[in-house]
Chain A
Amino acid sequence: MTELWRAAEPKRSYDVVIVGGGGHGLATAYYLARDHGITDVAVLEKGWLAGGNMARNTTIIRSNYLWDESAAIYEHSLKLWEGLGADLDFDIQFSQRGVLNLAHDLGDVRSSLRRVNANRLNAVDAEWLTAEEVADFCPIVDVSHDVRYPVLGATLQRRGGIARHDRVAWGYARAADRLGVDIVEHCEVTGFDVREGRVRGVETTSGTIAAGAIALAAAGHTSVLAARAGLRLPLQSHPLQALVSVLLEPVLGCVVMSNAVHVYVSQADKGELVMGAGIDAYNSYAQRGSFHVIEHQLAAAIELFPVFRHAKLLRTWGGIVDVCPDASPIIGPTPIEGLYVNCGWGTGGFKATPGSGHVYAETIAKGAPSPLAEPFGLERFTTGALIDEHGAAAVAH
């Protein structure tokens, strides 16, 4: 058996240096090499590959976002997911088992229908299920009326699902490596060489590396890196916690999300329930959150799924998510020539991995925003043309 990727020693210079060896960084490197013939690329990872949010997320994949701009990029991503295993020639255990977003009050129902109708007209598969249809699709959801937050219905995206996060990262690393990309682990970027408004290289724990273009893909650490380049971004880093149960025989065949009670859950093929909640309120880089968030999440889970009462919590952990004021990402060039950012994915980063990498690669290759990335530029904060996913009560995960 051949190795997944070489343990590359960094060269002194590259056409493109990608800072951050997570899913987005690796996907970006892969599409730069595959679609744009740019193979003189290094991916610099300060720790072990894909050990940040890529190793900590709940792997939910969907594209049923409200606004056109969001739907477009997430649907682009979902289409790439649908061919990714074959494309990478690597089993990423992508399972399109359907994603339910539950509605618990009349306001939820209104915004859910608004989203379903928008999705359909954007050619994103979406259905509205009544409470009874929810019970048919996912029998363990409690749809009785006498509960505190009854289920009034749900949106369903059948093409949504989950994938095996580690294998996604390894698949991209392997494919990028085959195309000549250097993947460098345990190499931290400590500074940037910026002269005359142009970035020329990075200082790293393995020395200085010159680069024609430098692309940040560091999720929760983006602000800290950007600051080293003298760049401010409208980002805040928060803990996002997730958990798994012990291994259980199959009970849940789809993904279920509920904004009102802050739960999203799926059951992995191994058998553990994988759950996430809302972010912790405060800024943090500690990769840990507060336990009351977990307790509330489990209480909410039991309200939705009484059968979970006997499930046992095995592990909890936290990641660091970088959140934008409008809960939408930033993709594109920066005021510093040659420096690109791809950040602010908040809680939605994993599902965007292929799409994000694809449009980011195009943006870097052309030196200008790709059409799908254009609305997500930094200018929107000045013009006010935000893409307000949480304002419109769309699910943020």
Chain B
Amino acid sequence: MLLIPCPWCGPRDEVEFGYGGQAHVAHPADPDALDDAAWADYLFMRDNPRGDFAERWYHAAGCRRWFNVVRSTETHEVRHSYPPGAPPPRSRP
């Protein structure tokens, strides 16, 4: 049971959250400008690193806010938690 730090509600059990996969994948401003390959890239291609990963979580059973977390996919250690729109923090807190 991971402990996910909601920027607003604080650390809560994983089961309160929805998982949103890779963070910072913006919907293209002008989808029509993308060819099929580029559009497929937006739809399906996601980073899948072993190590630190900026990912989205949704506090579904709490404050219903989406937010971002930097978490190691190797150790599950959470390094940062920050609101959507904010850039991914560089260094460890």
Contacts and interface: CB of A to CB of B under 8 A. Distances in A.
Interface of A: 221, 223-224, 227, 232-237, 281-286, 290-292, 322, 325, 381-384
Contacts of B18: 281
B16 to A, nearest CB: 11
- Chain B at the A interface: mostly helix, strand, loop or mixed? mixed
Residue among B49, B74, B75 facing the most chain A CB atoms (10 A cut-off)? B49
A282 B49 contact: no
B46 A382 contact: no
B55 A283 contact: yes
Contacts of A381: 40, 43-44
Contacts of A232: 45
B9 to A, nearest CB: 18
Contacts of B8: none
Contacts of A382: 36-37, 40
Given A292-B1, A381-B43, A382-B40, A283 B15 contact: no
B2 A325 contact: no
Given A224-B50, A236-B48, 13 more contacts: A232-B45, A234-B44, A235-B48, A282-B73, A283-B21, A283-B55, A284-B73, A284-B76, A285-B50, A285-B74, A286-B73, A292-B1, A382-B37
Contacts of A285: 50, 73-74
A383 B51 CA distance: 32
Contact of B2 (A221, A236, A290, A322): A290
A227 B71 CA distance: 19
14 contacts: A221-B50, A227-B49, A234-B46, A236-B21, A237-B48, A237-B73, A281-B18, A282-B71, A282-B73, A283-B21, A291-B1, A292-B14, A292-B15, A383-B36
